[in-house]
Structure 1
Amino acid sequence: MEHLEERAEKKPARKRNPSIKITNTGKKSHKVLAYYESFQEGKPDPIGQPEVWASKRQQLCEALPYYNAYQSGAYTHDGIARSILIDKEVSVRDKFDEEVVITSVGGGRLPDEETGRMVYKTDQVFSSIANAFMRAMELTSPVAVIAGQGNKISPTKLPHYYNVLDWFHVTDVWQEKNDYGYERLYKQGIVCQKCGCCTRRIEWKQWSCENDKCDYIHRVKQHLVPLSKVVADGMDSSREMYIDNDVRDERLKAPHKGIRFSQSVAGSYDLYNYDVPNESGGLSGSIRHFKSNRLINQQKDGPNDLFHEIQTSELDLKRGVAVHKGTTQETLTNHFTQNFGAAYKYLVAQDSKAFGEAPPVIIKATKRMVWAGQHTLMKSHEPYYPFNECLVLGYFDGSKIGFHDDGEKTLGPTVATLSLGANATMNFRPKRKTHIPSLDDGNTRARGRGRDVGDSAGNREKKDRPTILSIKLEHGDIVIMHGREIQKLFEVCSPLSPLNILTFNLQHEVIPNGGLRFALTCRHIDPQTLLNEDERRTAAEKGTFPPGSEQFDYDGSILATAEFPQQNRGIHISNNIKAKLEVGELHLSDVEYILQNLAKYTSTQTSLHNA
């Protein structure tokens, strides 16, 4: 449990639901019972009887001058709290003991869809009830506390339904926010309540004390985050966005003139093509941005379903050691990861789980990237090396990663990334020692936001190259990066991937726009580059899709994996036409032409049938 008294002293930065702490004045001579546990049944009998009690609420309201609230729990008069009834609505951090009562006040509660109970679902900017308790605190005005038998945290039986306990003073009033459990606060470390060890959050689901001799675990419930919380409007915009490295979102512009850009269509996606030059004037490789849209995202097993499913799947995401492992200067990555398929040995080493152990959401997502990779290589008439590895990355709100590169020799020439959740901007820039005439604008001063691990600020300021391409990534988008030479020349900055994970040795950066985000990145681990036969055999076993995974095969079209009963074929055809209009494959004039011809065809068929 968090130290509420300490949190009460902090000024909240955002909307929160108010709670109060009430301390007994000690004016009465009889002992106040410690109300602290669960249900009335099975509890021990109380010691003594309350001096004032009632069996009906109206009795309280008509007999007590300090309580006249038929509906709400708290009673105020002249803007000052006079009393509070604590009955069946008990919050998780409510508490009773002989001297202290902690309870929640104010509105913001709605019936829970599953249990029917009243729960907090909305944050409040203002609460007159909370203000009344603050006034009582400022004036040291006593507040009567009444407990009902519906209260679950009484350690003894309550002798009557309504029991006036005593007069209390309000000592603290603070606000608590209704969070999902992925906000920045929840990635911070804690102090172990058992041994006092300062503990980082290494695991996605919980804090586990870093003292090897301690078994303390702290969990905060993570609620399902709806897409509306993390995805901006205009998800299916047909216009590509480019962001200059210096000016962020204030000014949009095209990629560097040295990059060859074109636009086409792939399946139901808009496809943005970037061909990147090399030092001799040829091509170092290509970047393909498959732009998703609402119709794609809303299909069965589409990005919307994947975002929901990945939050509820057991992925065992963890933060790995980025630098100085085992020393006092050990530093963890900003993100949480888990690898599936063949082992991927990047800077942050970790075990890999076989595709056969992967939750279905991993296979579904990988199949989408397989299609995008195959489409890219088919268009360029180059061989496709099948993806046999998928790295899953989870980011709490506000996580990011700076520019970095990767020289992993076990990787094939193609990398695919699927973005789920919050939007982000992916930036590319040439590596420092490269000289690409078509990208050199005569200005090699540092303009990048990120840095390489180990660089000093002075060296970074002298050598960093400017960003030459920025891509706005939205929920459901897929990016394919292909070309072995790219790894020698460019770097990318991106929270899509951890330090040193892209095949291209690109220094890369993705600046998230806030909110929960997942990125899944697929590669081909070349078995011929592995050290021995055992590693090659393990990679082949772990990197093989399990039986039945073909049901998730994907071809880029709307509802590609869904089964359609005969009676729903018309709906399926209609959805495909709408999707083609959405992504620009069809225009309204085309649809009008089709409808005219269909009308003629229908008329002809009817005439033949009648004949």
Structure 2
Amino acid sequence: MTSNSSSLQFPSPYTPTKRRKNVVDSDIAVGVNSASKRRRENSSPLTQHHSQDTQINPYDTTQDLPACQSQLEDEQFAQPRTQLGPPTSSQYLDSQFLQSPEGQRVSYSTPSTDLDVPALPVKPLWTAPSPPASIRSDTHTSSSFHTADLHKLAEQLKPSRITPKPESNGQPEVWADTRMELCETLHYYRSYHGGCYATGGFARAFMFADSSHPRDYMDASVIISRAGGGLAKDKETGAMSMGRDQTEGPVVQSLRNSIAQLNPVVIITADNNPYAPSKPPHPYCVMDYFKPINIWWEKTKGKKFMRFRFEKLNSKQKSWWQPKGVPEVAVPGSLDPPITQCCSICSVQSCQVYLQCWMCLQPNCSGFWKVPTEGGTLQEPEENSLVYDPRFLKQHTPWPNDNHVYPLASVDVQLSGQSIAGEDCLRAHWSGVVCPLCGRCNSRLSWTGWKCASPGCSFEKRPPHTLIPAASLHDAFNPVSAAYTPSRDTHLPAVKLSVSFAHNYRINRFEIPGVEGFITHMIANKTVIEEAGGPNVMYEELQRVDIGLARRPMGHDHFTRHYAVNYGMPYKFIAATASNSFTGSARPITETRSRLNWAAKYLLSQETGMSIEDVGKKWKEKEFNEVLALGYFEQQKISYHDDGETGIGPTIATLSLGDTGTMRIRMKAKHFNGVSKASVYNTSPPLSGSAQFERRSEIHPTLLALHQTDKKAYNQRLKDLPKELGLKNGGTARDAVTMVLQHGDVVIMHGAELQKYYEHSVDHAGKLRFALTCRYIDSETLGHGDKPTYGVAPDDGDYDGARLPLPGS
């Protein structure tokens, strides 16, 4: 298209723009002093006004519009700061504007976060050859580039999706084998599921994996990606694609904040990233710090979505992901500035992203994402034909902190050396560490410290533990005495509570309506806590000996949030836990078994009215034969779960040692909502407090009868009921019972239905807590490979809480 087109005119690099009020004085000085010279050298016919068509066209840059009228020529060439965020190139081109003669640094104005217009690049480092005069045309691509040169360069810059990918020219400084290792180790990325990690209103890092867009781009210095969200699975291909228009959410706003305050972000690539220029050597590889520069809107398959463009912060640092032996085609800043044009419909500037044509990138404009046709109308472009304009792709936006070196590895936290009790149990000391030898992120999987999981790597770190005295556990605002300890438990009104006092325990018994069984919280007093060999001594002994606590795997790349080890009969709930014989175990393990056997027998005697001796005779047949020890550092917890596995006895007891824990019990979601996660109707008897309890209770008998007489009608009825009753998944029941577990407390849950319909979780406040849980496990229900290779001896302890002196005696 030539310059004499009447209505569809492409912009010049010097299209007039409205002067903004926040232009820095140095920009004005540079622009005004040399405006006349540049005006003569860069005059363009497009700065002249031509005759206008009656129809407004966004590609006509000469129409008179309030927001796009030509300014004074001196002001036109003053290079006003654009909407991209950082200061313009003129602020950085000359050192006199970076530092005053007196050596005082010049402060920069806070940039805008509206990123539709790019900043001007720095001085060119490389220029494509100009075409011979005989074949030059009066186009508006560039004074230094011919269209053919740009298209040739654009073809060279096209992202490659060839497989296998070439070898990278280096190794990442930081990498991880699993996502959990990554999130537990790095301070800038803690997103277990999403691609972006933002906190405190700022974007910190992005991960690029297989859920990419066909127009995503990545090379040694520049990355372009889509914003997350809005994806849906294609019913025909099964691939993820845009299912709805995106909206500007918190992630985009956090990225705008990072741009406004010149905060770089870290880019991480997964090994399944189709646009990685080389094969990542590990499942997750940290690339480097990048400057977020551009945010704009596009369309794909008729849906609006947002795009991001990033530039590498430190251009002096080698990009390890560049293919080995392949030089970068064009470094940022080596080409002419990208083209910007003001839309004559919405009066907002947009940058030319693609080489084919300029388009308005304002999503609310009627001319958004449209290109001119031969007939003078506008239509959406053919997506497969779009090629990035090299001038947009390879622009350079200088920041004051360019080439600064920020740490990619998290800080290696060290103990203070001041012998602070439990300092090694703090959150910072069970986070992951980056191996100083190979760069791998390593979670703290062992209670005693870290060991690099890379084959052949010798790195280990074992911080010493400073004992937390049991005497330091007492809460000044909730003192414990020889009297019965006050309760801090809460429950829903429908839950029945009965309180009794016996053997130095306040005993809270909770009974949930519609569920056979009970929950008992035995709250210990000072007499129990300080008895010989009791909770105080057990707590300190567990700190002095290594009982084998470790985090256990849950699936391919995830581990429990707590540390566990099992003694006695093997226990295989969710995460397989290593089991050991009671023989030779630490005293707190066998002591716990004896104490909890006594507590269970006492409570069952109260339930049945039998003497504890008579209960003990029957209990002996199926006494607790397993102890699961759990250890919690600061902020660790165990999420909602149940203990209703096959082969587990109906009674489960737990002794709490150390800092205070909070145990919550709630109805399982499928029983509360009346439907499963897949919205399948739940045929179990409805529970009081669940969704549509009354109506489901009325339907339940007829549903059971229908199951016996007409299976086809029964199945159809199951499909119809969720919609008929308005049942939806995703709801969460309120906690029915919340118990505050103090040092020395015992919790006993009795009844199979309790585990079937309800679930429980535990978290704690403080540095260190142990929870030792006893069960009876039927060995006949264990698989051949799960049976113990050692004998499980009977409990030979003789603990009896009735021997302790009672309060007031």
TM-score by length of 2: 0.39
Answer yes or no: is 1:463 the counterpart of 2:768: no
- The superposition leaves residues 20-46 of structure 1 with CA deviations (integer Å, 9 ceiling, x where unpaired) of xxxxxxxxxxxxxxxxxxxxxxxxxxx
Name 1:557's counterpart in structure 2.
Answer: 802
Corresponding residue to 2:649 among 412, 415, 419: 412
Matched-pair contact (CA < 8 Å) for 2:435–2:441:
yes
Task: Deviation per CA, 1:346-393: give whole Å up to 9, x if none.
Answer: 111132001113111211122111111111222223853300000001
Note if 1:317 corresponds to 2:566.
no
1:422-480 per-residue CA deviation (whole Å, 9 max, x = no partner) reads 01221111112326554459899xxxxxxxxxxxxxx9983211111111110000011
The aligned residue for residue 435 of structure 2 is 192
Contact 1:299 1:558 in 2 (8 A): no
| Corresponding residue to 1:355 among 568, 571, 582 | 582
Matching of residues 479-494 of structure 1 within 5 Å: 479-494=747-762
**Contact 1:232 1:423 (C-alpha < 8 Å) held by counterparts:** no
Q: Is the 8 A contact 2:539 2:658 kept in 1?
A: yes
What's the counterpart of residue 371 of structure 1?
Answer: 598
2:779 alignment partner in structure 1: 527
Deviation at 1:267, TM superposition (A): 2.2
Distance 2:464 2:774 in 1: 30
Alpha-carbon distance between aligned partners in 2 of 1:483 and 1:442, rounded to the nearest angstrom: 25
Q: Is the 8 A contact 1:273 1:286 kept in 2?
A: yes
Mapped pair 1:183 → 2:420: no
The residue that corresponds to 1:343 in the other structure is 570
Q: CA separation in 2, counterparts of 1:270 and 1:463? A: 35
Corresponding position: 1:291 with 2:523: yes
Q: CA deviation at 1:558?
A: 5.2
Any idea what SS the aligned residue of 1:412 has? coil
State the distance in 2 between where 1:380 and 1:477 align: 20
1:230-309 pair list within 5 angstroms:
230-233=473-476, 234-236=479-481, 238-242=485-489, 254-278=490-514, 283-309=515-541
- Give the direction of change, closer, same or farther, for the CA distance of 1:216–1:437 in structure 2 (3 Å limit): closer
1:314-366: CA deviation from partner (whole Å, max 9, x where unpaired): 2011111123x2xxxx1111111110001001111132001113111211122
Task: Mark the CA change 1:422 to 1:231 in structure 2 (over 3 Å): closer, same or farther.
Answer: farther
- The residue identity in structure 1 corresponding to 2:732 is D
Do 2:670 and 2:729's aligned partners in 1 also have CA atoms closer than 8 Å?
Answer: no
Taking the TM superposition and a 5 Å limit, the aligned residue runs for 1:388-427 are 388-427=625-664
Corresponding letter in the other structure for 1:479:
V
Tell me if structure 1 keeps the 8 A contact 2:644–2:752: no
Matched AA of 2:658 = G
The verdict on how the C-alpha distance between 1:204 and 1:398 changes in structure 2, with shifts beyond 3 A counting, is same
| Separation in structure 2 between the aligned mates of residue 514 and residue 391 of structure 1, nearest angstrom | 21
Hey, which of these two has a bigger chunk of strand by percent?
1
Match of 2:446 in 1: 203
Q: Partners of 2:729 and 2:524 in 1: how far apart?
A: 37
CA distance in 2, matches of 1:397, 1:479: 22
8 A Cα contact 1:200 1:210, kept in partner: no
Would you say 1:518 and 2:770 are equivalent positions?
Answer: yes
Task: Specify the SS of the correspondent of 1:557.
Answer: helix
Q: Say if 1:368 and 1:554, in contact at 8 Å, map to a contact too.
A: yes
Deviation digits for residues 93-139 of structure 1 (CA, Å, limit 9, x no counterpart):
xxxxxxxxxxxxxxxxxxxxxxxxxxxxxxxxxxxxxxxxxxxxxxx
In structure 2, the residue corresponding to 1:201 is in which secondary structure? coil
* Residues 238 and 461 of structure 1, relative CA distance in 2, 3 Å threshold: farther
For the 8 Å contact 2:662–2:739, the answer to whether it is kept is: yes
One-letter identity of the residue aligned with 1:518: F
Q: Retained in 1: the 8 A contact 2:505–2:522?
A: yes
Q: Distance in 2 between matches of 1:468 and 1:490?
A: 9
Task: Give the aligned residue type for 2:487.
Answer: E
Residue of structure 2 in register with 1:89 after alignment: none
Q: Tell me how far apart the structure 1 counterparts of residues 632 and 526 of structure 2 sit (CA, whole Å).
A: 23
Please state how far the C-alpha of 1:231 moved relative to its aligned partner: 3.7
Distance 2:646 2:512 in 1: 21
- 2:792 is aligned, of 518, 543, 546, to 543
Q: Which residue of 2 aligns with 1:580?
A: 807
Give distance in 2, aligned partners of 1:469 and 1:360. 32
SS of aligned partner of 2:752: coil
Asked if the contact 1:421–1:516 (Cα under 8 Å) also holds between the matched residues in 2, the reply is: yes
Given that 2:565 and 2:628 are in contact with CA atoms closer than 8 Å, whether structure 1 keeps it comes out as: yes
Q: Does residue 387 of structure 1 match 2:624?
A: yes
Distance 1:226 1:512 in 2: 18
Deviation at 1:264, TM superposition (A): 1.4
Question: Is 1:339–1:353's contact at 8 Å kept on the other side of the alignment?
Answer: yes
Q: CA deviation at 1:265?
A: 2.5
SS for the counterpart of 2:807 is helix
Amino acid at match of 2:527: L
Match in the other structure for 1:82: none
CA distance in 1, matches of 2:415, 2:650: 52
Q: Aligned letter for 2:533?
A: D
Partner of 2:455: 212
1:422–1:513 contact (8 Å) kept in structure 2: yes
> Within 1, Cα distance between the matches of 2:537 and 2:689?
40
- Paired AA for residue 272 in structure 1: N
Task: Please state how far the C-alpha of 1:406 moved relative to its aligned partner.
Answer: 4.2
Distance of 1:182 and 1:239 partners within structure 2: 29
- Tell me if structure 1 keeps the 8 A contact 2:687–2:693: no
1:310 is matched by which residue type in structure 2? L
Highest Rg: 1 or 2? 2
Structure 1 residue 258, shift from structure 2 partner? 2.2
CA distance in 2, matches of 1:460, 1:365: 43
Q: Which amino acid counterpart does residue 424 of structure 1 have in structure 2?
A: G
Q: CA deviation at 1:543?
A: 2.6
SS at match of 2:730: helix
Inter-CA distance 259–543: structure 2 relative to 1 (3 Å threshold): farther
CA RMSD of aligned residues (A): 2.8
Aligned-pair CA distance for 1:557: 3.3
Aligned counterparts of 2:540 and 2:607: Cα–Cα separation in 1: 34
1:503 corresponds to which residue? Answer: none
Where do 1:124-135 residues align within 5 Å?
A: none
Give the structure 1 partner of residue 144 of structure 2.
none
- Relative to structure 1, the CA distance from residue 400 to residue 531 in structure 2 (aligned partners, 3 Å threshold; closer, same or farther) is closer
Q: Which amino acid aligns with 2:780?
A: Q
Match of 2:740 among 459, 462, 472: 472
> Cα offset for 1:514?
1.9
Gap change, CA 1:437 and 1:210, over 3 Å in 2: closer
CA distance in 1, matches of 2:624, 2:573: 17
Matches of 2:758 and 2:568 in 1, distance apart? 27
